[in-house]
Structure 1
Amino acid sequence: MSKVALAGALGLLMFFTYLTGIRTAFVFGYALCLLFVITWVWPRLAIRGITVARSVDPGTPTVGEVYEEQFEVRRKGWIPAPWVEVRDLSQIADYQPGRVISLGGEAVRWRARGVYRRRGWMALGPTSLRVREPFGLFDRELKITQRTSILVYPRVRPVPDLMTPSSQQVGSSQALGAWADYPPETGGVRDYATGDSFGRIHWPLSAKHQRLMSKTFEQPLTTDLWILLDL
């Protein structure tokens, strides 16, 4: 039954009581009016003494990590709150930490877990608090605008050891691969060895000494390494 229909039925009852003058009907009508007023006032007074605290320790989160948020709901007033609904309004996918609880004299605590789905800024909050009286006729809602902003970083993946050519090849040592046939710096010459490419042969000295002579190369001690950051 809606609140409007209930108020209409109560008005008709009071009108019937006034016409008939029956004492029992008067008592019943006044009791219903008093109940109607109490159920209307109850959630409005109860919600004033309720506080909601949310806390999370983000650290340095990355995509795919699990986070844990702690909720604490307290009642400071003297009016009990038998039906309290706590809802999260942050609209995070697959994260519904809200609950329906009953508040007495002690605080109610619980933990909720979620997963960082996307990189970038993420906000936990705001929070909706709804209080309803025991008869379920009236409720009162309060929106808590406090938010907790968390910066989520891209997922960290292990990178294999980077072995640069300059750290492995020094002087006249041989290396595999096309880059080793034409290094940037020439260090000297030596007698031709089986397996040397024609690009290593020093033709003018070979003609002068009447035998094949091969170039030796000095590999650079440093190498440029490019790192591209995809944000």
Structure 2
Amino acid sequence: MHVYIITGASRGLGEAVAAKLLGPHNHVVGISRTKSYDLWEYAKKFGYRLSHVPCNLGSAWYEVERAIYDAFAAIDINDASSITLINNAATIEPIKPIDKCSSQDVASAFALNALAPFILTARFIEKTTDLRIEKRVINISSGASRKGYSGLSCYGSAKAALNQFTQSVASEQENCSYPVRMILFEPYKMDTAMQAKIRSVKKTDFPQVKKFKKAKKVGKLNSAGQVAEEIMRLLFEKGQLVNS
């Protein structure tokens, strides 16, 4: 059995990845605030193993920690031939200059985009340290982590922190007997609710909003399904690994 723990699995990219991973030899565990009705109906129809751990990953650290422990409680780790954590959940907000962001805005952005994947990865590695099976963590990054965008200071900075975290943990794992492979994946722009949110803001808050609207208009956005296919290739065909 192959185990996949996916955050933000109720919609967008997370839901698309979960849908592609559902199968007779897999157990998918979604961590999100709500369930995906479509996923559950699909899993029920074919008898696939799907579990849901309810959690607002932008909440207190101990709630995030509880979520990963609950995810492990939902699976039979002794029956697993591989286990993968996909840190997908994220928020693009706040989309405005930093002086217009409240302290709560800033804290919430970093809680979901950086702190949550840090904690989930830490406890994932702790729980699987002695397992002699394939172990992977895929962290979903963004082009905003490499290039500064006016209005996306919180999002871009949190994703940059996630990049550095991934590289640092990869270095740590090099000295482990049974290392976890760290994978950093930067998807192309997707036609998701996050992109819709970007297009809805004022130019004064996000000067490049026109560029994002044009990308939607001319069809330059990939679907979540297309990006999920690329993640499948990462898992099964090629390895864009930070460590290997």
- Indicate whether the TM-score tops 0.5: no
Q: For the superposition of Structure 1 and Structure 2, which TM-score range results when normalised by the shorter chain?
A: under 0.3
TM-score by length of 1: 0.21
- The structure that is helix-richer by fraction is 2
TM-score by length of 2: 0.20
Greater Rg by CA: 1
Q: Which has the higher contact order (CA 8 A, sep 6+)?
A: 2
- The structure that is strand-richer by fraction is 1
